[in-house]
Amino acid sequence: MGLYLRPTALADALAALADPKLIHPSENADRLTLLAGGTDFYPAQTARAAWLEANPRNVLDISGIAELKGIRQSETGIALGALTTWAEIRDAGLPRAFDGLKLAAREVGGQQIQNRGTIAGNLCNASPAADGVPPLLTLDASVQVASLRGRRSLPLAQFITGNRTTVLAPDELVTAIHVPQPDAGARSTFLKLGARTYLVISIVSVAAVVDVGNDGRIAGAAIAVGACSAVPQRLAQLECDLSGVAVANAVHVVVAEHLAGLQPIDDVRGSADYRRHAALVVIRRALVQCLAAQMEAAA
């Protein structure tokens, strides 16, 4: 029987993570494993047991730390506590630029998962198909991290480094996700293509944030694609090419060359070629939705 720690103060959690007695680089089963919502932790335990693999023996349950909960808005932006659930994001009164993130929140499993699963857990799990990552990328989100050594903040694009890998050190903990205050006129969406409508891993996912100026031209755009690379990616060249384009011509700007940086794989959900084609279609649909919302707001 291992340790089960459930601190109520962030300082105590960081002290546990830094405890040299609980850091065994060559014995992963003995290291402290973080537990928040548990929506990835418990299924992984079942899978390990089925394959006669060792389960983590020492658990650090951070679900009781009040400092990591809640959504806070200020003049500089919006901070989403690490333990903020998808249900809380889904139901929150946030600027319209967050509509894409709220749509993604509705796609994270069923309602039971949304009630338990946390935003930081989605990022730290670092799945290429994580629903929360593309919309947060389009919002220029940064990840706030703490340890006994201090605190740091880094762009989400630098936080996830590969399939299931992040820059987190063993003694670090994500405390919040910060989003700078978006433009009031910006509109966003999130579209997900899967084998069925609900409770499915993405074949392709696309998040978009678009702002249209008073002249009817795109003043700014952010487009991110998930499930088509080891890490979801922003399409910088497409964003640049959309700038200044008249709304009526925007969809025609999107071409296959804009997806050159993606590296989709062949798997049971779809081939790489199918993913590339689907991504092109879904990006165009996302643009149409954002621009329609802009026109509706201007009417």
pLDDT tens-digit profile of 125-177? 999 999 999 999 999 999 999 999 999 999 999 999 999 999 999 999 999 99
Q: Given this model, what pLDDT does residue 155 score?
A: 98
Cβ(295)–Cβ(289) below 8 Å: no
Query: How many domains, the chain?
Result: 3
What confidence category does residue 247 fall into, taking pLDDT thresholds of 50, 70 and 90? very high
Q: What string of DSSP letters covers 181-237?
A: PPPTT-EEEEEEE-SSSSS---SEEEEEEEEE-TTSBEEEEEEEEESSSSS-EE-HH
Give residue 96's domain range.
68-180
Which of the pair, 55 or 204, is modelled with greater confidence?
A: 204
Q: Given this model, what pLDDT does residue 265 score?
A: 95
Pick from 180, 209, 234: which residue ends a domain?
180
Q: Picking from 45-49, 55-59, 135-139, which range would have the lowest pLDDT averaged per residue? A: 45-49
Q: Are residues 259 and 238 in the same domain?
A: yes
Mean pLDDT score across all residues of the chain: 93
Which of the pair, 195 or 192, is modelled with greater confidence?
A: 192
Is the pLDDT at 24 greater than 70? The verdict is no
Q: Given this model, what pLDDT does residue 87 score?
A: 97
Q: Are residues 57 and 115 in the same domain?
A: no
pTM of this structure: 0.95
Is the pLDDT at 289 greater than 90? The verdict is yes
Pick from 141, 156, 180: which residue ends a domain?
180
Q: Are residues 199 and 168 in the same domain?
A: no
Pick from 128, 156, 180: which residue ends a domain?
180
Task: List % helix, strand, coil for the chain (3-state, nearest 5).
Answer: 35, 25, 35
Quick: pLDDT tens for 77-108.
Answer: 999 999 999 999 999 999 999 999 999 999 99
Cβ(218)–Cβ(245) below 8 Å: yes
Q: Given this model, what pLDDT does residue 23 score?
A: 62
Q: Are residues 153 and 209 in the same domain?
A: no
Q: How far apart are CA 163 and CA 179, in angstroms?
A: 24
Q: Are residues 147 and 215 in the same domain?
A: no
Q: Are residues 81 and 132 in the same domain?
A: yes
